Structure 1
Amino acid sequence: MARAGLTSERVVAAAADLADTVGFENITIAALARGFGVKDASLYAHVRGLSDLSTRVAVLSGLDLADRISDALAGRAGRDALFAFAHAYRAFAREHPGRYAATQLELGPSALDDHPGLRRNLTGPYALLQGYGLTEPALTDAVRLLRSTFHGFVALELAGGFRHRRDVERSWAAALEALHVALSNWPEEADS
C-alpha cells in the first residue's frame, strides 16, 4: 500500500510543505503519513521520530534561507546589502511561514558540522555589517539588533499584529532606513 519512491528527502520536503500549511509546531507523523497514503510506521524507515523530523525540516529550511540571502547579497555592500538581506529574509518568512518557524529551532553543534552551509546564517550578518566598518563588540551588538528587528517585524506581521492603517510596506521601508542610519552612526562603547 506504500507509495513507491518514499525517501527521507521526500518525507522531509513534505513535512516542510506541511509546516507551511499547518504551522511548524503542528507537524505530526500521523498527518504526514496520511499525506503519503501510508501507515505511520512506514515513515519510521525514513525518520527516527518527530524530533528527528523537526530537526531535518529546520536544516532544510535553514539551508534554503541561507541560499536566498547569499544570492541576494552577491556583489552588494552597505545600504544595498542591508536592504537585500532584509528583503530576502522577509520574503522567505512570508512565503514559507512554517519553514521560517523551523529556522528558529536551536540546532546542536553536530547539525552545523553535518551541514556547514547552515553557518552562513550565522556568518552572513557579520559579513554584511563589516561593510559598515563595525568591529567587536559593536559587531555582535549590531547583529543582535538586525536579528531582533527582522524577526520581530516578521513575527508580528505573520501573526496579523499590524492593524494600524499605516501601510506595512512603508513601515518596513522606514525601519530599514532607520537601521541604515543607526549602523552608519554606531555609538562608541562607553568605558564602564
Structure 2
Amino acid sequence: MEILDQLSIGLLAEKLEVRPPSLYNHLDGLNGLKQKLAIQGVKKLHEHLLQAAVGRSGDDAIRKISNAYIQFVRMHPGLYEASTRFPDANDKELQQAQESIVHLVVQVLQAYNLKEEMAIHMIRGLRSILHGFTSIEQMGGFGMPLDINKSYSILINTFIEGIHAVAINEDEYMQ
C-alpha cells in the first residue's frame, strides 16, 4: 500500500494529539490535506535542488540536481508521493512551486545553448528519467543483484552525453 493511501484525518489528528474536527478549521478535508502536502513537497524538492545547483553549471549541475532529486525521494518518499499523485493542478500556489523547479532546470540547461523548445524536451526527459527511476525503486522493482546507484549513474551520464549530442546538431533532433 502506498504511503499516501494510509493517510487519514483521524490518523493525523491522533499524531498531533488533537480531535479530528479541530483539523477541519485548517484543512478542507483529506483532499485539502493532500493538496497542502503536494505543495509542501514541491517546494521542499525545489529547495533541495536549488541547494545542489548553487555554484555549478553544465554537466556538474545536472549530476548534482539529479542526485539531489534521488536523495530527496529516498529521504521523503511520502512527501514526494503526495507531490506527484493527483494534486489539483489548477492550484496557483502549486503551479508556482512547480514552475520554480522548471525555471531552475532551464537555468542549468542554459550552459548547453539549447533553443527554448529543445530545452523543454530535455527537461521532460530528465524528469521522466528521475521520476521513473525513483518510482521503480520505491516499488522494489530493481531486484537484480547489481548496484542500483551504478545503474542510476550510467543513466544520468547517458542523458548528459545525449544533451551534448543534441547541442552539437539540434536541428537534426527536431525532425
TM normalised by structure 2 equals: 0.88
Q: CA deviation at 1:28?
A: 0.7
Q: CA deviation digits over 1:104-142, x for unaligned, max 9?
A: 1443242247xx454311212222112122113211111
Secondary structure, aligned partner of 1:134: coil
Task: Return the match for 1:175 from 152, 155, 161.
Answer: 155
**Greater share of helix:** 2
RMSD: 1.9
Q: Which amino acid aligns with 1:169?
A: N
Residue 56 of structure 2 is aligned to residue 108 of structure 1: no
Aligned to 1:188: 170
Counterpart check, 1:34 vs 2:35 = no
Distance 1:182 1:134 in 2: 12
1:82-121 aligned at under 5 Å gives the runs 82-105=62-85, 106=87, 107-112=89-94, 116-121=96-101
Q: Which amino acid aligns with 2:93?
A: A
Please tell me the residue identity of whatever aligns with 1:110.
Answer: K
Kindly indicate whether residue 23 of structure 2 is the aligned counterpart of residue 71 of structure 1: no
**Distance in 2 separating the partners of 1:110 and 1:148:** 23
Structure-2 residue corresponding to 1:127: 107
**CA distance in 1: counterparts of 2:5 and 2:65, whole angstroms:** 26
Preserved contact between residue 114 and residue 170 of structure 2 (Cα < 8 Å): no
- SS at structure 2 position matched to 1:166: coil
Structure 2 gaps of 5+ residues are none
* TM-score calculated relative to the size of structure 1: 0.81
The alpha carbon displacement at 1:158 in A equals 1.0
Number of residue pairs the alignment of both structures matches: 169
SS in 1 for 2:170: coil
Please give the residue correspondences for 1:152-171 in structure 2 after superposition, counting only pairs within 5 Å.
152-171=132-151
Change in CA separation of 1:104 and 1:49 when aligned onto 2, cut-off 3 Å: same
- Give me the whole-angstrom Cα distance separating, in 1, the residues matched to 2:21 and 2:10: 9
Alignment-mate amino acid for residue 140 of structure 1: I
How far residue 82 of structure 1 moved from its aligned partner, in angstroms, is 0.4
